[in-house]
Chain A
Amino acid sequence: MSLTVQEIAGLLQTRFPDAVLEVDADSRHPGIRVAPESWHDVALFLRDDPRLAMNLLRCISAVDLHPQPYIDVVYDLLSMRPPVSTGGGAADPWSCAGLVAIRVRLPRERAHVRSVADIWPTANWHEREAFDLMGVTFDGHPDLRRILCPDDWVGHPLRKDYVFPTEYHGIPAATGSAADSAGTGEEH
């Protein structure tokens, strides 16, 4: 018996009345939208509350919503322990007690959010990847460097308005047509 997204959202709303902005239980990727200011406290509650026990951060994704001025950061959480409240019978230590996606919506031009690398160590490299490719800054991250691109790379390549480089250290890069179509940010 695993927790539904509605139940998780209910627990969060009781504890943080202002933090839960939107509950999306019916989509193919059910999740809860959380206010960026409260995200670190919510994350700590999600991990440490025995009813939730979201002890596994499976993925961090960043979604560029250009031309809307937002970037969504999506945290996919999973609880590997059965919740104590729904106990009964022998507990399977590997059963999934609930999963949820937490979305945090950030302004595109100033995409800052508190790092959760101190809560889930997995977040360290995932946040570096989101920083490298999408330009999301994670405040309080212990080592926020680029992880895939070279250290001297300019820009964040997976942003939809990213301008392709024409050369890198003297090596010619994009073709003319690619530079044209990427620069305008149009749909391809």
Chain B
Amino acid sequence: MGWLRNRFEENFAITTIDWALNWARSNSVWPLTFGLACCAIEMMAAGASRFDLDRFGAGAFRATPRQADLMIVAGTVTFKMAARIRRLWEQMPEPKYVLAMGACTVGGGPYFKYGYHVVKGVDLIVPVDVYVPGCPPRPEALLEGLMRLQEKIRAETIAKRAEPA
């Protein structure tokens, strides 16, 4: 790389488009303001000052799916809600991510066997990127899930994008 050295001014950086895009995307994952049940309370706690989701760039909860990158499905998904969740997901622009928070959303949870009204996992409705188990998960667990998602985003490349579902 000798032919490049010392040929540019100060504050000049070289990177790849992949790295720059992933850096920007993974550090500004804006979630959708969207909670279904008790897990949403923990999600709010994760967003508030003690745990402060914004430290990782994901504290700007958007009130519209058009501006959101991440859907945190926090709470029991009922059949009545399923069509609404699918529609919200469809309204989000690409690239978009889904985090399944809590036992109900991961796989039906305590309603798996006798819950006539509960979808046995939100992955039957929308594709899920990260599963966070717990009933409900602690805010630390949600932060861990967010960091897993960030790792996933950083591994993306524009040359080979995952097929949209």
Contact = CB atoms under 8 A, between A and B. Distances in A.
Interface of A: 149-150, 157, 162, 164-165, 168-169, 171-175, 177-178, 182, 188
B68 interface: no
Interface residues of B, number: 13
Contact of A178 (B83, B113, B117, B124): B113
A130 B14 CA distance: 67
Contact of B124 (A150, A172, A177, A182): A172
Given A174-B116, A178-B114, A169 B124 contact: no
The B contact surface, by secondary structure, is loop
B20 interface: no
B125 interface: yes
Contacts, number: 36
Given A171-B125, A177-B113, A150 B120 contact: no
Given A172-B120, A173-B120, A182 B82 contact: no
Q: Which of B113, B119, B125 has the most CB of A within 10 A?
A: B113
A171 B113 contact: no
A175 B116 CA distance: 10
B79 interface: yes
Given A149-B80, A150-B79, A171 B116 contact: no
B124 A175 contact: no
B122 to A, nearest CB: 10
A148 to B, nearest CB: 8
A169 B120 contact: no
A172 B79 CA distance: 10
A175 B79 contact: no
B89 to A, nearest CB: 14
A171 B79 contact: yes
10 contacts: A150-B79, A150-B80, A169-B83, A171-B79, A171-B82, A175-B112, A175-B120, A177-B113, A178-B114, A182-B114
